[in-house]
A and B are shown apart, each in its own frame.
Chain A
């Protein structure tokens, strides 16, 4: 095992079964080998439907491969129980989605607290940490606001703060600027770079070349296979 690799996919297939009798098979990933090194900033690029999101979910232990292995920090997570996977997602991984996916019933502060609640962090410590993160993304003034009272850019910044709540090793972002205008997107991107500079490994799914340009490494995916990139 290479200590420098935070997550490694080995011959990973993901097959979705669809239709009434689950007979139609969709091969979202078809034998992917990919290692993400600690501290790197990786961009995953490819056309729509090529399997980018699926890949990201597998890297973040949100899903399990149909075939092949996923090693997270050296541990084969393919056969781990759901609760063990939940624990990895909670402590080691942070997700940022294209559509922000904030909890509509919770305030900005509450959303940032959420991963820490599930981790069992005591309230006082949790509040202090959530406030610190909100101030880091420039939203100290908005902590009481509900997601519906925030702009898209602000919501995505809350989502990033939430993803960083439990000090993850790996930040996974699925088209984080896809729903934002260029300028707001720039703000979110610089937040991601900053996070990466502070030592957090970042992987971003995007089909925006500008986003990819910021990354230190790019891989290209098409029809469920890695077809190119800086190192391929």
Chain B
């Protein structure tokens, strides 16, 4: 078997240019597969991470129907008022976090303009990850205190302890959060009460509720829905559990993945047909050699194996190179996403099982594409093959 591999390798090396062209055909398909699968994995991992940080025992109350998803603009669109005290009395409701989203006017020395701002209850940090780069978080009694995203801090030249103006009121910078946070680093945080005061509202954009220990999230969500309908008389708010949102997002990613996978599959099919074509040509060209191999006692199965190994090797080489290029593309995509969107939105989507799987798969594609040509070679009549000009 190992020695037959040597013969196959010689066959490949003997027609270098054509072998390479064929390998490139496979390479393109495998590159597409690896790039797209890893991109899908990157997105799924990123989504999974953000949900894990939030915790599966958390649900959100948002205006409108399910589908906006966490972090989507739809969920920040409208504000609504809610009786937090009554909500906390609902059975199974644990910790409650509040958030108000708005674009507000800020001014620091020479710079001024609008920034995304989140008015948050001081316990909001237990609901999602905010990495403190400097200073502290909100404490009870904080009024005109602000925590800046690291980008804002840099742009405005502000440090912890400095003061700035927000909607013409003086604020003290008490902290700065880093790019590793689940917030855009060009946003700012202020206490919810202050935000409501500035905007003259009692509303919120989003409510986070954690199920109390021992309660199932889905059950609590149902109770909250009933409570909301009872107190408001209409279904203008929806309760989303992380499970639900996660499912919706994963399903969407799954469909995207299948679509991309289909495209990659077609590319690979074309590559496979290229291998088949090359192998048929090789069998034809080497008819006489096949006759000779049979004359010196090669069994049909051995001839078949030589040609299968040859096409499998082409698949494997295309697969190895394609995996490398696809992995580079994935790194590039992660880097580009980070450069464009600031926060680390994507995870690396290359895993050992993907690499090994793809290598095995590309060898298989090559061998399968070579199956018919190899069979044709094995079935040649030795005498006719020897007479072939």
CB-based contact A114/B293 at 8 Å: yes
**Which residue of the partner chain A has the closest CB to B382?**
A62
Q: Which residues of A contact B297 (CB under 8 A)?
A: 86-91, 93, 115, 118-119, 166
Task: Give 9 A-B pairs besides A88-B297, A119-B297 with Cβ atoms closer than 8 angstroms.
Answer: A62-B294, A63-B383, A87-B297, A91-B297, A104-B289, A114-B296, A118-B297, A118-B302, A165-B296
Residue B11 at the chain A interface, CB threshold 8 Å: yes
**Which residue of the partner chain A has the closest CB to B13?**
A105
Docked pose: A118 CA to B13 CA in angstroms: 21
Residue B298 at the chain A interface, CB threshold 8 Å: yes
Docked pose: A106 CA to B296 CA in angstroms: 14
Docked pose: A163 CA to B297 CA in angstroms: 10
CB-based contact B7/A101 at 8 Å: no
Residue B246 at the chain A interface, CB threshold 8 Å: no
The 28 listed contacts between A and B (C-beta, < 8 Å) are: A60-B295, A62-B295, A63-B382, A63-B383, A82-B299, A83-B299, A83-B301, A86-B297, A87-B299, A89-B294, A90-B297, A94-B296, A101-B295, A103-B292, A103-B293, A104-B14, A105-B7, A105-B13, A106-B10, A113-B3, A114-B7, A114-B293, A114-B296, A115-B296, A117-B6, A118-B297, A118-B299, A119-B297
> What 1/0 mask marks residues of chain B from 276 to 318 whose CB sits below 8 Å from any chain A CB?
0000000000001101111111111110000000000000000
Docked pose: A89 CA to B302 CA in angstroms: 14
CB-based contact A95/B295 at 8 Å: yes
Residue A97 at the chain B interface, CB threshold 8 Å: yes
Q: Which residues of B contact A101 (CB under 8 A)?
A: 288, 291-292, 295, 386
Docked pose: A102 CA to B383 CA in angstroms: 16
**Interface residues of A, CB < 8 Å — how many?**
34
**Which residue of the partner chain A has the closest CB to B379?**
A82
> What 1/0 mask marks residues of chain A from 111 to 146 whose CB sits below 8 Å from any chain B CB?
001110111000100000000000000000000000
CB-based contact B3/A123 at 8 Å: yes
**Which residue of the partner chain B has the closest CB to A159?**
B292
Q: Which residues of A contact B372 (CB under 8 A)?
A: none
Report, nearest first, the 3 A-B pairs whose CB atoms are least far apart: A90-B297, A105-B10, A115-B296
**Which residue of the partner chain A has the closest CB to B10?**
A105
**A57-B383, A104-B289 are known contacts. Are A117 and B295 too (CB-CB below 8 A)?**
no
Residue A153 at the chain B interface, CB threshold 8 Å: no
**Which residue of the partner chain B has the closest CB to A114?**
B296
> What 1/0 mask marks residues of chain B from 152 to 188 whose CB sits below 8 Å from any chain A CB?
0000000000000000000000000000000000000
Residue A110 at the chain B interface, CB threshold 8 Å: yes
Shortest CB–CB separation between residue A100 and chain B, in angstroms? Answer: 9
Q: Which residues of B contact A91 (CB under 8 A)?
A: 297
Q: Which residues of B contact A163 (CB under 8 A)?
A: 296
**Which residue of the partner chain B has the closest CB to A91?**
B297
Shortest CB–CB separation between residue B316 and chain A, in angstroms? Answer: 19
Q: Which residues of B contact A115 (CB under 8 A)?
A: 296-297
Docked pose: A52 CA to B148 CA in angstroms: 97
Docked pose: A93 CA to B293 CA in angstroms: 13
Residue B130 at the chain A interface, CB threshold 8 Å: no
Residue B4 at the chain A interface, CB threshold 8 Å: yes
**Which residue of the partner chain B has the closest CB to A97?**
B386
Residue A69 at the chain B interface, CB threshold 8 Å: no
Q: A82, A89, A103, A119 — which one has the most chain B CB atoms within 10 A of its CB?
A: A103
**Which residue of the partner chain B has the closest CB to A119?**
B297
Q: Which residues of A contact B299 (CB under 8 A)?
A: 82-83, 86-87, 118
CB-based contact A62/B383 at 8 Å: yes
Q: Which residues of B contact A8 (CB under 8 A)?
A: none
Shortest CB–CB separation between residue A73 and chain B, in angstroms? Answer: 15
Residue A157 at the chain B interface, CB threshold 8 Å: no
Residue A162 at the chain B interface, CB threshold 8 Å: yes
Shortest CB–CB separation between residue A166 and chain B, in angstroms? Answer: 7
Docked pose: A117 CA to B3 CA in angstroms: 6
Docked pose: A117 CA to B382 CA in angstroms: 18
Shortest CB–CB separation between residue B384 and chain A, in angstroms? Answer: 9
> What 1/0 mask marks residues of chain B from 133 to 158 whose CB sits below 8 Å from any chain A CB?
00000000000000000000000000
Docked pose: A63 CA to B381 CA in angstroms: 8
**Which residue of the partner chain A has the closest CB to B291?**
A101
Docked pose: A87 CA to B4 CA in angstroms: 17
CB-based contact A103/B289 at 8 Å: yes
Docked pose: A102 CA to B291 CA in angstroms: 11
Shortest CB–CB separation between residue A52 and chain B, in angstroms? Answer: 13
**A62-B295, A114-B293, A117-B4 are known contacts. Are A82 and B10 too (CB-CB below 8 A)?**
no
Shortest CB–CB separation between residue A57 and chain B, in angstroms? Answer: 5
Shortest CB–CB separation between residue A162 and chain B, in angstroms? Answer: 7
Q: Which residues of B contact A93 (CB under 8 A)?
A: 297
Shortest CB–CB separation between residue A170 and chain B, in angstroms? Answer: 13
**Which residue of the partner chain A has the closest CB to B288?**
A101
